[in-house]
Structure 1
Amino acid sequence: MRVRVRNCTKLFDMRDGYPFARNVLGFSDPSVALVGDRWTMFIGGMAPTFRTNIYSFELPPGAPVTSDEWRPSPSAVLSARRIRPVIDQPRRRSWNRCMHSVCFVRGVADAHTVERIYHAGRASETVLNRRLPYRIGYLERRPGEPWRSIDQPLALHGPGLDSILEPKVEYHSGRWHMRFLTLPASRPGSEDPTRFRIMYTTSPNGRDDWTAPVEWFGTTTASTTASSSPMTKER
């Protein structure tokens, strides 16, 4: 089925620059959710040092998600032309030194409601580093607490899953459901679509006990496989 998109609005353009953020080169891969009384956007941003991190923007309370009044969250504003990420930049050589490809989700873990931003992470500031593959982790926030990062990436990589990124996570039916992209560490950034696979896994708490990842779409599965996934039933 072909879907036609109308009335597209450009929000940010790195070619035009950002009057509110002279310390960020560009933004990409937003995740939008209703948080409290307003729509909130979590988005990856790259600093002039080529380190990437996660930033937050908000609409005014009550504004529709189609509004173009996105502004940096008040907690993100350092000055009239500088903003800060939702969490400090991880230390050098950390698995998540650079974070991007975000996905906000709210769910239940250990009998507590939590908010998480799942993301891809890499230890290098070089985007395509053959020796340092991508991993997946998350930031977590509980009521009244700031965002914090988990210490280690999720145990999802392994043989045949050398480099994993682009997490898409949902919470429903009492479990955390994740799709993620995998690509061979021997050739990161390859544009050959036959080298990419989308995997699917679930967890009771979104932290560990993940089921063995299965191919959701890729080199061996047909497109009909995707229609059987529980994630396709949630809109």
Structure 2
Amino acid sequence: MPFSSGPVTGQPIWDMLGTTMPRGILGLSDPDVHLIHGRWFMFVGGFSTSFRNRLYQARLPNGAGPDQAGWLLDRRPIIDDPPKGAWDAGGMHTPSYVPPHGERSARIYYAGRVGARHYGRGSAYAIGVLTRNSRGQWARNAAPVLCGWPGRPSVLEPLVIAVDTGYRMWFLATPHEVAPGEQPNFELHVTDSADGIQWEPSRRFATCEEGFFDNAVYPTSHGWEMTLARGTNLHGTTPYPDQGLWVMRAATPSPDRAAWSTPERVLDTAAPGTPSWMARGVCGPSVIPLPDGRRIVFLTGTHDVDSWWQATRLRMAHARRIAVPSPYFLATGTIDMTDVT
């Protein structure tokens, strides 16, 4: 067993049912954490009190480590809303930051919602990109860089890294986001690009039977790791696939599944003692390996609550406020995993 299997340790940074939601924000999800010019930054999707899905940036104080508290969210989104009628006018989700690579500036890939529906039949997503200009501002590419295909018209949850040949992207391909009472139909795909804009035809990386929703890919002292999540049981559907995290290892960040080890489960969110804020599963992992063998895993969990009334009781106990009317309640936070190899 390469990872310890003790109880989950971690806490929310922002919690829809806690006291920590920034003003003007209803929920935050899919954190993506990077060390930029010696300071830790997080790119994260947010749902504002004006009912818009936007991309935000948070940062730790200078000198703070990724395992420390003190994240401060910039309340202004990193880019203005797409224009009315644009392909991503329904909202922007799931940022994946890539630092400057060769002669190309930093980028943020993201999932854009095509219409008003968040989930179920009729919901549709594509993948777009922001580029940072010479003034340090983000500019939105007017067209998506990756779209779905017949049978799997929605592509989302991009995870992009720089490689010697250009860029590599893992992403979710699905008919649509899961609606209440439905079972997930998730496949992970992978594709390469020389310039990060024009992408090669993708190939399947993980099957529908495995059910992985999204992933993180990162270097370690002994090669590369991939942490995978199955998403979360947003709507409390029963039965539903087991939720949690799995880890695979490889010598390089290969697009070939055969190069990776067998997935090992490292988090079971149905286990006794799992905190409510992640008890219906986790998604959006972003992993920072530390020199002492720990992995700081930033992720989003779904609260195990059955109704708005139950959510309000929890919210009142912590924040003395009623819960925002919502079909589900998210929290974004961290957990620790320890490598014992």
TM above 0.5: yes
Q: Distance in 1 between matches of 2:116 and 2:40?
A: 31
| Partner Cα separation in structure 2 for residue 227 and residue 14 of structure 1 | 34
Find the residue that maps to 2:106 and give its secondary structure.
strand
Aligned counterparts of 2:120 and 2:140: Cα–Cα separation in 1: 23
RMSD of aligned C-alpha atoms? Answer: 2.7
Question: For 1:10, what is the secondary structure of its paired residue?
Answer: strand
Q: Which of 95, 104, 108 is matched with 1:113 structurally?
A: 104
Out of 70, 78, 87, the residue aligned to residue 86 of structure 1 is 78
Equivalent-residue separation in structure 1 for 2:151 and 2:103 (angstroms): 34
In 2, the alpha carbon distance for the partners of 1:137 and 1:55 equals 16
Q: Is 1:10 paired with 2:1?
A: no
Aligned position for 2:33: 32
In the alignment, the residues of structure 2 paired with residue 88 and residue 170 of structure 1 have an alpha-carbon distance, to the nearest angstrom, of 25
Where has structure 1 moved over 2 Å in runs of 4 or more?
Answer: 1-7, 16-19, 123-126, 129-132, 142-145, 155-161, 190-193, 226-229
Given candidates 83, 94, 102, the residue that maps to 1:101 is 94
Q: How many residues align?
A: 216
- Whether the aligned pair in 1 keeps the contact of 2:107 and 2:130 (CA below 8 Å) is yes
Cα displacement string for residues 7-44 of structure 1 (whole angstroms, at most 9, x for unaligned residues): 4132111212446x321101010000011120000000
Cα distance in structure 1, aligned partners of 2:31 and 2:209: 30
Between 1 and 2, higher relative CO (CA 8 Å, sep ≥ 6) is seen in 2
Matches within 5 A, 1:20-59: 21-59=22-60
In structure 1, the partner of 2:118 is 127
Q: Structure 1 residues 17, 156: CA separation in 2 closer, same or farther (over 3 Å shift)?
A: same
Q: How many angstroms apart in 1 are the aligned matches of 2:186 and 2:117? A: 20
Q: 1:23 to 1:160 in 2, by over 3 A?
A: same
The structural deviation recorded for 1:213 is 0.6
Contiguous gaps of at least 5 residues in structure 1: 77-82
Give the SS at the match of 2:15.
Answer: coil
Distance, in Å, in 2 between the alignment partners of 1:130 and 1:52 is 19
Alignment of 1:100-179 (within 5 A): 100-108=93-101, 112-128=103-119, 130-179=121-170
Query: Match for 2:119: what amino acid?
Result: L
TM-score, structure 1 normalization = 0.81
Letter of the 2:12 partner, please give it.
K
Matched, 1:196 2:174: no
Contact 1:50 1:125 in 2 (8 A): no
